[in-house]
């Protein structure tokens, strides 16, 4: 034995030739909402700065008995109810608002959903990019064995200091995606462009519950990363700009998607006029205008809005542009298959957004302050209207439970 292994013959690759991608998708958000006019009044600015300048109307606010775990489980529940757990081998939980430095938030979700012990579970982090890392890892697992399914859940609550410029760009949402072979919603194409650069544009040190950000630098870093990812995508044989029908972006605020897409159209040498460029992202912004920033979920909330709009013809190519401060960017594409509209649930996300209880600025300020209380034992008030609740802390142990319909 020399220890040498024969070089695999690419013609005899054991990798599947089945398309792999997103088979089902579901969005959840918080039980409360605040209109940005309330924040504008306290900041003493023209509300148009938020509605037009940032492209945001509202932001979701979590109830005291909600967190990234309850949101993630709420997003995943309909997916598990629709498809069961047969073939499910992996749960990937992507977040940058983690609730523990060691234990994966996914393990709590695993229990709340009643998943089999044979489902491996892990949490991933790289700011708003980690959902895309999870999706690509899921696709690789399914390509290796098309009989396997992976549940990818992105869940985040965006929190900045009160009265900071980031405050109107808070929000919350979770997205659950079932990744399978022969998917019903989006077939992910293999070519992908990536860009990584060590930059301090946005971060949250371990001792802080709110993020720190250099706002202008973060916008510049985002645009630079989009250029880098596009160059890599093109060099690796990606589709030309004109062969892409729609673009979904990470949306810290929806106007950022407009800035990023106009920038990409210029870098890629598109001959389209500004209205045509803006039209390529319009359908992706409707939900995000209402959830606010949901960090690693926001790109997939945008994808949900695009698919739910039904605007795309089957066979259309969608580009997904994922940016996570710090910074990593990935640009990849997918094809919307025949019959995809039957696999969407357009009313569900709109109903969840409409069902939120509007709260005053005073109530929002109380919730914002309560988040920073550090104790070993805590009983949270019963407020959430979602299917799961965070009941508090028992000797530093987080307590999660089913929220029985009678008490909602």
Q: Which is nearer to ligand CAA, 97 or 384 (CB)?
A: 97
How far apart are alpha carbons 45 and 66 in whole angstroms?
30
Q: Choose which of 69, 256, 307, 319 interacts with ligand CAA (CB under 6 A).
A: 256
The angle, 0 to 180 degrees and rounded to 10, between the axes of the packed helices 254-267 and 215-235 is 40
Question: How far lies 44's CA from each of 37, 53, 78, 364, 376, in Å?
Answer: 10, 15, 42, 17, 38
Contact flag: residue 52 with ligand CAA (CB under 6 A): yes
Q: Residues near 218 by Cβ (< 8 Å), separated by ≥ 6?
A: 201, 202, 252, 325
DSSP assignment of 115-176 equals --TTSEEEEE-BTBTHHHHHHHHHHHHHHH-TT-EEEEEEEEEE---TTSTTGGG-EEEEEE
Q: Which is nearer to ligand CAA, 92 or 211 (CB)?
A: 211
Nearest to 170 by CA among 181, 184, 183, 156: 156
Alpha-carbon Rg for the chain, nearest whole angstrom, is 21
Closest residue to ligand CAA using C-beta atoms? 53
Contact flag: residue 325 with ligand CAA (CB under 6 A): yes
Contact flag: residue 293 with ligand CAA (CB under 6 A): yes
Q: Which is nearer to ligand CAA, 210 or 270 (CB)?
A: 210
Q: How far is the CB of 80 from ligand CAA (least distance, A)?
A: 28
Map residues 365-404 to x or -, x wherever contact with ligand CAA holds by CB under 6 A: ----------------------------------------
Q: Are strands 357-358 and 32-35 parallel, antiparallel or unpaired?
A: parallel
Listed ranges 43-51, 57-65, 187-195, 233-241: which one lies at the site for ligand CAA (CB under 6 A) = 43-51
The catalytic residue positions are 96, 128, 250
Question: Residue 82 has which token pair?
Answer: 């629709």
Q: Choose which of 26, 121, 180, 218 interacts with ligand CAA (CB under 6 A).
A: 218
Q: How many CB atoms lie within 10 A of CB 1?
A: 3
Contact flag: residue 295 with ligand CAA (CB under 6 A): yes
Q: Choose which of 215, 346, 387, 392 interacts with ligand CAA (CB under 6 A).
A: 215
Contact flag: residue 128 with ligand CAA (CB under 6 A): yes
Site for ligand CAA, rule CB under 6 A: 46, 48-49, 52-54, 128, 165-166, 169, 201-202, 213, 215-216, 218-219, 222, 250, 252-253, 256, 293, 295, 323, 325
């Amino acid at each position: 034995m020399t220890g040498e292994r024969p070089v695999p013959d690419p013609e005899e690759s054991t990798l599947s030739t089945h398309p792999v991608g997103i088979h089902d998708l579901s969005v959840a958000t918080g039980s409360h909402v605040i209109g940005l006019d309330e924040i504008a009044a306290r900041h003493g600015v023209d509300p148009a700065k938020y509605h037009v300048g940032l492209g945001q109307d509202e932001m979701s606010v979590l109830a005291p008995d909600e967190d990234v775990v309850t949101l993630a489980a709420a997003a995943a529940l309909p997916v598990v109810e629709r498809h069961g757990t047969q073939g499910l081998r992996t749960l990937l939980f992507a977040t940058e608002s983690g609730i523990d430095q060691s234990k994966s938030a996914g393990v709590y979700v695993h229990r709340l959903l009643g998943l089999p012990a044979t489902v491996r579970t892990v949490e991933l982090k790289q700011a708003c990019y980690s959902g895309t890392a999870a999706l690509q890892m899921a696709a690789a697992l399914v390509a290796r064995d098309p009989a396997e399914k992976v549940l990818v859940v992105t869940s985040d609550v965006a929190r900045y200091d009160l009265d900071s410029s980031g405050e109107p760009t808070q929000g919350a949402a979770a997205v659950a995606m079932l990744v399978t072979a022969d998917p019903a919603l989006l077939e992910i194409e293999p070519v992908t462009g990536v860009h990584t650069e060590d930059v301090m544009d946005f971060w949250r040190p371990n001792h802080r519950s709110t993020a720190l950000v250099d706002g202008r630098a973060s916008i510049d870093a985002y645009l630079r990363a989009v250029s880098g990812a596009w160059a890599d995508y093109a060099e690796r044989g990606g589709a030309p700009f004109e062969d892409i029908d729609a673009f979904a972006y990470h949306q810290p605020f929806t106007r950022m998607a407009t800035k990023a897409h106009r920038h990409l159209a210029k870098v890629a040498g598109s001959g389209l006029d500004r209205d045509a460029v803006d039209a390529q992202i319009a359908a992706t912004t409707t939900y995000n205008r209402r959830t606010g920033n949901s960090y690693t979920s926001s790109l997939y909330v945008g994808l949900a809005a695009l698919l739910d709009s039904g605007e795309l013809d089957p066979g259309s190519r969608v580009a997904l542009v994922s940016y996570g401060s710090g910074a990593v960017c990935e640009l990849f594409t997918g094809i919307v298959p025949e019959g995809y509209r039957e696999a969407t649930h357009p009313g569900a996300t709109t109903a969840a957004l409409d069902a939120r209880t509007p709260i005053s600025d005073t109530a929002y300020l109380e919730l914002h302050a309560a988040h920073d209380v550090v104790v070993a034992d805590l009983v949270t008030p019963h407020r959430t209207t979602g299917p799961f609740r965070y009941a508090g802390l028992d000797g530093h142990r987080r307590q999660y439970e089913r929220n029985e319909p009678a008490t909602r």
